[in-house]
């Protein structure tokens, strides 16, 4: 594992953007990308670099890691809408370049199969960028989930449902299920970049840093990956 510790939000965003920019130098790069607060700074930095002509997404392909079931692409609380707001619209990516989960697909199993087909057609994921759930989840692979599955429908844990409730400010019924790339997809990516920010992630982070695989902490599955980079935004108390 390559570990990069950063001290400020700008440094954290810049380090994450650097890893993504390095992959972008290779044409036809395929990315799996996270939503959430953690990657927002990196996405803004990539948009800034793209506008300055320093990076180009012209031949890149992006996939969303996960989505809440029941939410259409246009729903402002969907991860698809997040990706539109932070990357797709500001970068001017075409529809063809971004495969987003259809949370409102009538047949969710068929949606998973379609997602796998689209991934396969692109030749698989070159760089999989991940955030970290407070409970150690990666994408929507919740504690206790199997590590040998690809795209699937998942029952959301109580803590993830609580996060959803906060995000939607109680404005709608809480989603009970999600669509997600499986841990097998994440481990099959050629490179993995895990972004860790926030004191509330410390238990999950520590489980990873202990270096022992544990199904109760899905993030520890990444210990199996030979090309894992972790970028952490350190709180000032434990900064390097
Ligand atoms: C959600 C997403 C994850 C994301 C996590 C962390 O649960 N399904 O893919 O990594 O939130 O979110 P944040 O970065 O806001 O802490």
- Say which CATH class 2-198+206-233 falls into: alpha beta
- The catalytic residue positions are 66, 135, 137, 142
89 pLDDT more than 90: yes
Extents of the domains making up the chain? 2-198+206-233
User: Does the beta carbon of 139 sit less than 6 angstroms from any atom of ligand 1?
Assistant: yes
239 pLDDT more than 50: no
Ligand 1 centroid distance, CA of 162 (Å):
12
User: pTM higher than 0.75, yes or no?
Assistant: yes
237 pLDDT more than 80: no
Spatial distance between the Cα atoms of 229 and 226, rounded to a whole number of angstroms: 10
Spatial distance between the Cα atoms of 119 and 114, rounded to a whole number of angstroms: 9
- Which token pair is 168? 């939607």
Instruction: Give, using CA atoms, the residue closest to atom 4 of ligand 1.
Output: 131
Highest mean pLDDT among 11-15, 168-172, 234-238 belongs to 11-15
87 pLDDT more than 50: yes
Are 34 and 139 within 8 A, CB to CB?
Answer: yes
Q: What integer pLDDT is reported at residue 18 of this predicted model?
A: 98
């Amino acid at each position: 594992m390559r570990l990069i510790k950063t001290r400020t939000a700008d440094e954290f965003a810049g380090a994450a953007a650097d890893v993504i920019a390095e992959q972008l130098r290779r044409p036809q790069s395929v990315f799996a990308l996270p939503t959430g607060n953690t990657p927002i700074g990196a996405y803004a930095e990539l948009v800034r670099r793209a506008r300055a002509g320093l990076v180009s997404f012209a031949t890149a392909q992006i996939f969303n890691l996960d989505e809440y079931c029941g939410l259409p692409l246009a729903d402002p609380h969907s991860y698809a809408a997040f990706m539109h707001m932070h990357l797709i619209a500001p970068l001017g990516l075409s529809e063809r370049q971004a495969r987003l989960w259809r949370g409102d697909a009538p047949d969710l199993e068929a949606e998973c199969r379609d997602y796998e087909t689209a991934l396969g057609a692109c030749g698989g994921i070159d760089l999989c960028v991940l955030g970290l759930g407070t409970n150690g989840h990666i994408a929507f692979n919740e504690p206790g989930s199997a590590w040998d599955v690809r795209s699937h429908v998942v029952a959301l844990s109580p803590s993830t449902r609580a996060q959803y409730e906060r995000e939607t400010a109680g404005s709608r019924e809480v989603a009970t299920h999600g669509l997600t790339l499986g841990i097998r997809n994440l481990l099959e990516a050629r490179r993995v970049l895990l972004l860790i920010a926030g004191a509330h992630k410390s238990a999950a982070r520590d489980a990873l840093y202990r270096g022992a695989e544990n199904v109760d902490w899905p993030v520890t599955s990444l210990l199996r990956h030979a090309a894992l980079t972790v970028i952490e935004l350190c709180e000032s108390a434990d900064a390097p």
